[in-house]
Structure 1
Amino acid sequence: MILAASQELIDELGIYFLSFDRAGYGESDPNPKRSVKSEAFDIQELVDQLLLGNTFYVLGVSMGGYPTWGCLRYIPHRLAGAALVVPVVNYWWPSLPSNLSREAYKKQLLRDQCSLWIAHYIPQLLYWWMTQKWFPCSSLVEENPKIFTMKDKAIIEKMSGNLTPNKTKVRQQGLFESLHRDLMVGFGTWEFDPADLINPFPQTNGSVHIWQGYEDPFVPSLIQRYVSWRLPWIQYHEVTDGGHLIMYDTGLFESILRALLH
């Protein structure tokens, strides 16, 4: 992932960035039993193996949102803070009012509605659906530029259309072990509901943030608002003209980091 942070900002805030290949991506072994919980403990084990200290910050973007929710649920005592940027929302979280989740779900393209429905209810058919040639499947997996907002398209153009450097290496173990499993976990049945989480920083010695683009075509802002309302200890930031790629806006990314590391 490209991080839109200047060296000056990194030096000023004393940031040490650590990104890694999650299970099934890059050179990390696949995990057929991958779950929200396993992702959180993978992060904890990685930090411990590298001797990075007792606490750390987590920054999760898009599908990286569900491992971040997992950290808030399973290892909150290890966190110094967390930021979720356009984090995936699961339309089947029990706390979501049915009319709200239905309204947000119907705003997705039909192809994406089908992909998410299959990932949730019939995950064993997801590989077939994502590889068949009769109907279009996931616009997000395909990175179809037609569905991005004007602001997103400007960012894509600035990046010369290359959102995922070394895409072949990232997906070298195949789409099923990487992106398909992500869909099955992110939109499957979770062991917990984010709305039931307890503030990990009751003494205000840390903070949790959600950053959301109002015009994001993939992640509905109305559900993010509801989740933030249910969890008032989360600081919610909505970018009026932002889409799904707000992470790549240099000025905004600086704001994300400063808010997290205040």
Structure 2
Amino acid sequence: MLKRITVVLLIGLLAWAYQATHPPPPSICGSPGGPPVTAPRVKLRDGRHLAYKEHGVSKEVAKYKIIFIHGFGSTRHDAVITTNVPPEFIEGLGLYIVSFDRPGYGESDPDPKRSVKSLALDIEELADQLGFGSKFYVIGQSMGGQVVWGCLKYIPHRLAGATLLAPVVNYWWQGFPANLSMEAYNKQPPQDQWTLRVSHYIPWLTYWWNTQQWFPASSVISSKPDIFSRQDLEILSKFALRENPHKAQVKQQGEFESIHRDMMIGFGSWEFSPMDLENPFPNNEGSVHLWHGDEDGLVPVTLQRYIAKKLPWIQYHELPGAGHLFPVAIGVSEAILKALLLGQS
């Protein structure tokens, strides 16, 4: 009898463990019972769809064509580079900006094979299907800024210029001095250190770790206020008064294929290190910019400084007193766009 009970308990434990570590299948937009498709979408090489949103002037009259890459826990609606920019500024420069839902977010189909390279190729194909021409600009914020490194690696020949806004850093990238990356890593809240370890070393436990109730999971996912700077909190307080009608779209297809896969890729083992990249514009036919706030509580400024030092062809802009959300501050996005497109510092 005892053996039978033990076997039953073991089977039950294994069944629970399997269910706990295997996320439910995504609820794909447009599928029976899934969220509706409301955005324009392009169909990619493998049959997936990318949802996108257009900003600024029409592409037929545009002088500059830009693809904006949103950050963690966001969608195409969160194109921060346009948030507080006067329409006359965008029209005056002739900007055509397209933001898109990264795979698994919003209304873009999940990509179980998503990688740093595949997303760069998605961006290239999006540009081709929308008629961007041979070259275009990319701007990425936070986790979207990290994606720009993939564009610089895999599609540099398609870029007219690139900007990284507070790009997320992978502490395991080759090239960081061990003491520097460890010091920056240890400044993160203990619960985030554990979340990052899981994402890097045992990614198959990422879903369980971020949904279990025994230990505190990611403070970024829970948006704990102590991870934000004073400037960030001021910005958040202003936006708290505005209702976000698109908030529900972020994870509507499932947490795993959106935010959890983001963490697995962003902090996983990369095929390359950004510090090994070569200048994509050796003849100064374009430029690459990295912007960061020196009070960013989510991404350590010390590591951005080191990357900028290792890559002297990057134009590094450090903003005193700024946190992670600085692109939304009044006047900042205009400066970012002028630096990228007009070479004005």
Counterpart amino acid of 1:185? I
Q: Secondary structure at the match of 1:5?
A: coil
Aligned partner of 1:158 in structure 2 is 238
Aligned partner of 1:60 in structure 2 is 140
More helix by percentage: 1
CA deviation digits over 1:227-248, x for unaligned, max 9? 0000000001111100010111
Aligned partner of 2:198 in structure 1 is 118
Counterpart amino acid of 1:223? L
TM-score of the pair, normalised by structure 2: 0.74
Q: What percent identity do the matched residue pairs reach?
A: 58
Aligned partner of 1:72 in structure 2 is 152
Aligned partner of 1:260 in structure 2 is 340
Counterpart amino acid of 1:10? I
Structure 1 distance, partners of 2:227, 2:271, is: 32
More strand by percentage: 2
Report how many residues are paired: 262
How far apart are residue 162 of structure 1 and its match? 6.0
Give the direction of change, closer, same or farther, for the CA distance of 1:165–1:182 in structure 2 (3 Å limit).
farther
Any stretches of 5+ residues in structure 2 without a counterpart? 1-77
Give the direction of change, closer, same or farther, for the CA distance of 1:190–1:156 in structure 2 (3 Å limit).
same
Report if the CA contact (8 A) 1:130-1:137 is conserved.
Answer: yes
Give the direction of change, closer, same or farther, for the CA distance of 1:113–1:161 in structure 2 (3 Å limit).
farther
Q: Secondary structure at the match of 1:217?
A: coil
Aligned partner of 1:11 in structure 2 is 91
Aligned partner of 2:219 in structure 1 is 139
Aligned partner of 2:15 in structure 1 is none
Aligned partner of 2:174 in structure 1 is 94
Structure 2 distance, partners of 1:220, 1:97, is: 14
Counterpart amino acid of 2:146? Y
Aligned partner of 2:103 in structure 1 is 23
Structure 1 distance, partners of 2:233, 2:280, is: 37
Q: Secondary structure at the match of 1:250?
A: coil
Q: Secondary structure at the match of 1:111?
A: helix
Structure 1 distance, partners of 2:191, 2:134, is: 43
How far apart are residue 148 of structure 1 and its match? 1.0
Structure 2 distance, partners of 1:162, 1:191, is: 41
Structure 1 distance, partners of 2:226, 2:184, is: 20
Counterpart amino acid of 1:140? V
Which one is further off, 161-170 or 69-78?
161-170
Aligned partner of 2:67 in structure 1 is none
How far apart are residue 147 of structure 1 and its match? 2.2
Q: Are residues 1:168 and 2:244 paired?
A: no
Structure 1 distance, partners of 2:155, 2:167, is: 18
Structure 2 distance, partners of 1:44, 1:177, is: 21
Report if the CA contact (8 A) 1:36-1:66 is conserved.
Answer: no
Structure 2 distance, partners of 1:13, 1:84, is: 20
How far apart are residue 161 of structure 1 and its match? 6.0
